[in-house]
Amino acid sequence: MPNGFLVLNEKDWENMTADQKEWATFNTLQSMNERLKSLEKKTAFDRVCSFMGGVVGGAAAWFGIHITKG
């Protein structure tokens, strides 16, 4: 389970019993839930930094587009 996710391919899924499939689905949903919880706990500082990065990136893109127009 790299990075907390249960990774199954189609062949694995076909060879699993119904109970194993239910457990794999439940386990994957629980893992996703924990990851979402950790994302929701981000501090205001993280959100402000993300917003400012978007502003700077957008300004750089706007500037680059206008510079290349001539």
pLDDT per position as a tens digit, 8-56 = 888 988 999 999 999 989 988 898 898 888 888 888 888 899 999 999 9
Question: pLDDT for 56-66, tens place per residue?
Answer: 999 999 999 98
| Sign of the CA dihedral running 36, 37, 40, 43 | negative
Q: Which of 25, 56, 20, 67 is nearest to 5 (CA)?
A: 25
Q: DSSP character for 59?
A: H
The per-residue pLDDT for 70 is: 61
